[in-house]
Amino acid sequence: MALTRKMLKELGIEEESIEKIIAAHSETVEALKKYKVDSEKMASLEEELRSAKEELAKDYKSKYDELELEFSGYKNEVESSRLTAKKKEALRKLLRECGVLESCVDAVVRVTDLDSISLDETGEIADRDKTAADISQNWAAFIPKTKTVGANIPNPPATVSERSYTIDDIKRMTPWEINANYAAIKKSLNRN
């Protein structure tokens, strides 16, 4: 039921009061219309907010997954580089023990396939004996051959005989020469 002038006149309300009532009623209706428009906007804003929250949640989830994957890759890379460094150090140690020239150790390590080397729990090469045999076979050119050679038996070295000094020899010597040859001079004097 609408509030109209006709209805107010039928109720016996004066014209001046009717104007005031209609004005107040118009203000109320306008305010209600404004609230209705605002509430409709609010519903659409709530829908936008809900969709924005969902997008942010999805976006953060994807960023989190991406960062987690990146961190996992970085962690694997660091562990791999540490393992490679341990393998290189163990191989250097074994190369030195096998007698490879020190100047060639780093070059041999650079060209060796480190993936084929496995370490035990102590950080040493797991199949040490097999690897040492491979080193001796494959890198023999870098392992010096040491051979002990004795004296030539048919021509043995001549023995150096001690010099015998006479009193005249000693008189001609300087004090420094006497000090340098003191043991030989003493033996010469004891013999004479």
Q: Could you tell me the pLDDT band of residue 70, with boundaries at 50, 70 and 90?
A: very high
Residues 57 and 80 in one domain: no
Query: Which residue's entry shows tokens 């960023």?
Result: 63
Task: Please tell me the pTM assigned to this model.
Answer: 0.47
Residues 85 and 55 in one domain: no
Q: Is the pLDDT of residue 137 over 70?
A: yes
* Each residue's pLDDT tens digit, 143-184: 888 777 776 677 666 666 677 888 888 899 999 998 988 888
Question: Within a domain: residue 87?
Answer: yes
Residues 176 and 119 in one domain: no
Residues 85 and 120 in one domain: yes
Q: What is the pLDDT of residue 188?
A: 84
Q: Is the pLDDT of residue 41 over 80?
A: yes
Q: Could you tell me the pLDDT band of residue 116, with boundaries at 50, 70 and 90?
A: confident
Residues 14 and 50 in one domain: yes
As for how many domains the chain has, the answer is 3
Mean predicted lDDT score pLDDT of the chain: 84
Question: Within a domain: residue 157?
Answer: no
Q: Are 103 and 95 in contact (CB under 8 A)?
A: no
Q: Which two tokens stand for residue 145?
A: 């051959």
Question: Within a domain: residue 51?
Answer: yes
Residues 32 and 84 in one domain: no
Q: How far is CA 135 from CA 36, 102, 109, 114, 142, in A?
A: 89, 14, 11, 13, 10
Q: Which two tokens stand for residue 42?
A: 């609010």
Q: What angle do CA 122, 125, 128 make, to 5 degrees?
A: 125
Question: Within a domain: residue 46?
Answer: yes
CA distance linking residue 76 with residue 67, whole number of Å: 14
Residues 102 and 133 in one domain: yes
Q: How far is CA 21 from CA 3, 6, 17, 27, in A?
A: 9, 13, 6, 10
Phi (first) and psi of residue 8, to 5 degrees: -70, -35
Question: Within a domain: residue 50?
Answer: yes
Residues 43 and 90 in one domain: no
Q: Are 87 and 126 in contact (CB under 8 A)?
A: no
Nearest to 161 by CA among 122, 142, 187, 123: 187
Residues 38 and 13 in one domain: yes
Residues 57 and 84 in one domain: no
The mean per-residue pLDDT over the stretch 87-91 comes to: 88
The mean per-residue pLDDT over the stretch 78-100 comes to: 89
Residue-number span of the structural domain to which 119 is assigned: 74-142
Domain boundary residue, one of 102, 127, 142: 142
Neighbour count for residue 92 (Cβ, 10 Å): 16
User: Coil, helix or strand for 110?
Assistant: helix
Residues 56 and 80 in one domain: no
Question: Within a domain: residue 176?
Answer: yes
Q: Is the pLDDT of residue 77 over 90?
A: yes
Residues 119 and 171 in one domain: no
Question: Within a domain: residue 88?
Answer: yes
Instruction: Report percent pLDDT > 90 for the chain.
Output: 11
Instruction: Report percent pLDDT > 70 for the chain.
Output: 94
Q: Is the pLDDT of residue 3 over 80?
A: no
Question: Within a domain: residue 36?
Answer: yes
